[in-house]
A and B are shown apart, each in its own frame.
Chain A
């Protein structure tokens, strides 16, 4: 279990990392967060954090949209996080959650109060249980929040009630996940993961202007597909019925990692699931994040171990 948290500029026991019931962000969703993973490499007995500075760069960009003013760099936040993980001494995969929140009371529904704080916690996660046969997906009857209302490009707390509405509806209708259309009817993403499909050997994913998260995993996979697999990757709007005739489709993100899609609206995707390109991408991705691919070690930050842990 989690023992520590970073809050108000210090690492403290997790029980002390609480907020008042009057807290502004608790009432109005006026915060943003990040999602970062640490991967435990059993052979090397080493915990690697994946693209930590890139994650914090996006985190601070999300904060900027909410008029938060932080005098920290992504490198500062990465350092604090590594300290936190060292204290926890995880010897298994973990998930790291930084959250920026308004450290003021609920009285005013606005963003520019200036009292912003960052909290960071980490939780252990097992090996992700991915359904081998691929996810059963539907198109949601909800629409993705629009960039003119609440931006989906950053991880803004409030926008996730849209994700939660989408996810619960899908699950309660017997699906694993849903794809959401943006207001104009183009495919945006899953409830909380980016979407990619393969048509005629080309990987296609919605552009960042179609109300999607500017995903770090999305960028990672686009690069791996181009550089390692020599595939063409295209960012363009995707129509709903293109989903039904795709050869392969998958979700990606820090949470889901790479998750194959078996069917969309009860139409089987491709001949088998996961498809051949999805399988290769998945293999590549896990080799990279676990530190088994020497070409991409620059994306990994090793967490030093304390004496106590080694003993």
Chain B
């Protein structure tokens, strides 16, 4: 790949991810130029750039790093200093960067070192998208020195439903899958927030394009997510020119691998046009969801979200938000179809999902919502959600499963307190 192309796409990436305007791109340019012999000031602006562009996790930062190094076409020495710079700017030293790597995967029925878990390029699902996956999170509570698994059984129940859409059968119940995952997390020993990805795939090699009479296989692995940085400014969102895959084509209600190329088309178009995210309409013109997150808006104190018949993911976080709004905030929640131009006159709007968690929308198609930041309902919900998932709201403790032995982690916490 010519380095020019990389540089261009990097620039685009940075500019876009930061939601930057023209001025931002200039400062980035300065940045690259300067990074071969930079001064204090540019370092700061790079850091700001990265932090702003964030909302993303460490690995993304890593690939950004790779990208920057490659794109710059620098000499060896300057690569190194750029790299140091970037590492410092993400608040990670080299060691901790290495330490965050995933070590294990559940693969072929057992927990094995991740480097032993590979699949052939001829795998059916790689070629045809004939699989499904899940996305789960576990949250680290530093006071209790405990990792809390959030709604694992509910997630695996949906995962098995997605499998059913693909005529796949797994010899596990949702409870058994949750137990396997807790084992996996204990083996990794994460002491920070992490993300869990179960994936069901058709393990046969490329043959017929079909779903039945194929070997269904399961893998689960987890990745550390680092600290969550709330984003105060709302996302810049556009309405996508693509349409959501329809339930008569590829169901969006489950997490089917093939349908995510639709999400990726939507997301890249939005980013490359200078937006953070896009909302996608279903074939009939109603708002479905974002590229890979459920959508909510607030109108006149009522929380509104598209119904599950409008080609949306049947999101666990969506259900969680609906429950929290109704039962903790006492707000009416309505599931109904949403028209496109309703987006422009909403009082507040936000996206939610395991990946994005909860992100406020600042503007839609260049029309600012509220003051462009996090609206009052969204802010309340934001606090409530993060308190809940970190185990600070006893009334919602049923949604959490402690990963580590409670007595042990409590005594560790006590010891830690005693030591100080």
Binding site for B on A (CB under 8 A): 2, 5, 7, 14, 17-23, 25-31, 33, 66-67, 69, 71, 97, 99, 101, 104-115, 119, 121, 123, 141-146, 148-150, 156-165, 167-168, 171-172, 183, 191-192
CA distance A158 to B267 in the complex (A): 15
Beyond the given pairs A114-B67, A146-B283, A159-B261, 18 more chain A to chain B contacts, judged by CB atoms under 8 angstroms and listed by A's residue number, are A7-B121, A21-B107, A21-B119, A26-B201, A28-B263, A66-B261, A105-B63, A109-B267, A112-B268, A114-B1, A121-B122, A121-B206, A149-B243, A149-B246, A158-B258, A160-B130, A164-B211, A183-B246
12 contacts between A and B (CB under 8 A): A17-B121, A19-B118, A21-B107, A21-B221, A111-B267, A114-B67, A115-B63, A142-B249, A150-B261, A161-B129, A161-B130, A167-B210
CA distance A109 to B266 in the complex (A): 9
Q: Contacts A29-B129, A160-B130: A144 and B249 contacting too (C-beta < 8 A)? A: yes
Assess whether A146 is in contact with B249, with CB atoms less than 8 Å apart. Answer: yes
CA distance A31 to B63 in the complex (A): 19
Q: Does B179 contact A (CB under 8 A)?
A: no
Assess whether B261 is in contact with A114, with CB atoms less than 8 Å apart. Answer: no
Closest chain A residue, CB of each to CB of B133: A27
Residue from A106, A157, A172 in contact with B129 in the complex, judged by beta carbons closer than 8 Å:
A157
A259 to chain B, nearest CB (A): 14
Q: Contacts A21-B117, A109-B267: A171 and B210 contacting too (C-beta < 8 A)? A: yes
Assess whether B212 is in contact with A171, with CB atoms less than 8 Å apart. Answer: yes
Q: CB-CB < 8 A to B221: which residues of A?
A: 21-22
Assess whether B128 is in contact with A163, with CB atoms less than 8 Å apart. Answer: yes
Assess whether A161 is in contact with B12, with CB atoms less than 8 Å apart. Answer: no
Q: Which 4 A-B pairs have the closest CB atoms?
A: A161-B258, A158-B261, A29-B129, A28-B260
Assess whether B267 is in contact with A164, with CB atoms less than 8 Å apart. Answer: no
Q: CB-CB < 8 A to A67: which residues of B?
A: 268
Which B205-222 residues sit within 8 Å CB-CB of chain A? 205-206, 208-212, 219, 221
Q: Contacts A19-B121, A112-B271, A114-B67: A158 and B259 contacting too (C-beta < 8 A)? A: yes
Q: Does B416 contact A (CB under 8 A)?
A: no
B273 to chain A, nearest CB (A): 11
CA distance A2 to B120 in the complex (A): 12
Assess whether B271 is in contact with A110, with CB atoms less than 8 Å apart. Answer: yes
CA distance A160 to B263 in the complex (A): 15
**Residue of A99, A111, A141, A156 with most chain B CB atoms under a 10 A cut-off:** A111
Residue from B56, B128, B259 in contact with A164 in the complex, judged by beta carbons closer than 8 Å:
B128
Assess whether A28 is in contact with B264, with CB atoms less than 8 Å apart. Answer: yes
**Residue of A29, A106, A167 with most chain B CB atoms under a 10 A cut-off:** A29
Residue from B59, B67, B126 in contact with A25 in the complex, judged by beta carbons closer than 8 Å:
B126
Q: CB-CB < 8 A to B223: which residues of A?
A: 22, 107
CA distance A150 to B260 in the complex (A): 10
CA distance A145 to B283 in the complex (A): 11
A127 to chain B, nearest CB (A): 16
Residue from B6, B197, B268 in contact with A110 in the complex, judged by beta carbons closer than 8 Å:
B268
Q: Contacts A19-B121, A97-B206: A149 and B262 contacting too (C-beta < 8 A)? A: yes
A3 to chain B, nearest CB (A): 13
CA distance A306 to B13 in the complex (A): 47
Residue from A17, A107, A160 in contact with B120 in the complex, judged by beta carbons closer than 8 Å:
A17
Binding site for A on B (CB under 8 A): 1-2, 5-6, 9, 12-13, 56-57, 59-60, 63, 67, 102, 105, 107, 114, 117-123, 125-130, 133, 166-167, 197, 199, 201, 205-206, 208-212, 219, 221, 223, 242-246, 248-250, 256-265, 267-268, 271-272, 283, 291-292
Assess whether A18 is in contact with B119, with CB atoms less than 8 Å apart. Answer: yes
Assess whether B129 is in contact with A159, with CB atoms less than 8 Å apart. Answer: yes
Q: CB-CB < 8 A to A66: which residues of B?
A: 261, 264-265
Assess whether A145 is in contact with B249, with CB atoms less than 8 Å apart. Answer: yes
Q: CB-CB < 8 A to B260: which residues of A?
A: 27-30, 109, 158
A149 to chain B, nearest CB (A): 5
Residue from B56, B219, B258 in contact with A159 in the complex, judged by beta carbons closer than 8 Å:
B258
Q: Contacts A109-B292, A158-B261, A168-B167: A123 and B248 contacting too (C-beta < 8 A)? A: no
Q: CB-CB < 8 A to A165: which residues of B?
A: 166, 211, 250
Closest chain B residue, CB of each to CB of A112: B268
Q: CB-CB < 8 A to A20: which residues of B?
A: 117-118
Q: CB-CB < 8 A to B249: which residues of A?
A: 142-146, 149, 162, 183
Q: CB-CB < 8 A to A144: which residues of B?
A: 249
**Residue of B13, B59, B244, B250 with most chain A CB atoms under a 10 A cut-off:** B250
Q: CB-CB < 8 A to B209: which residues of A?
A: 160, 163-164, 167, 191-192
Residue from B6, B199, B242, B259 in contact with A148 in the complex, judged by beta carbons closer than 8 Å:
B242
Closest chain A residue, CB of each to CB of B125: A26
CA distance A21 to B242 in the complex (A): 29
Assess whether B211 is in contact with A157, with CB atoms less than 8 Å apart. Answer: no
Closest chain A residue, CB of each to CB of B118: A18
Assess whether A71 is in contact with B2, with CB atoms less than 8 Å apart. Answer: yes
Residue from B12, B120, B125, B210 in contact with A168 in the complex, judged by beta carbons closer than 8 Å:
B210
Closest chain B residue, CB of each to CB of A145: B249
Residue from A110, A111, A162, A168 in contact with B250 in the complex, judged by beta carbons closer than 8 Å:
A162
Q: Contacts A143-B249, A146-B243, A161-B258: A97 and B126 contacting too (C-beta < 8 A)? A: no
Closest chain A residue, CB of each to CB of B251: A165
Q: CB-CB < 8 A to A25: which residues of B?
A: 126
Q: CB-CB < 8 A to B122: which residues of A?
A: 2, 17, 97, 121, 123
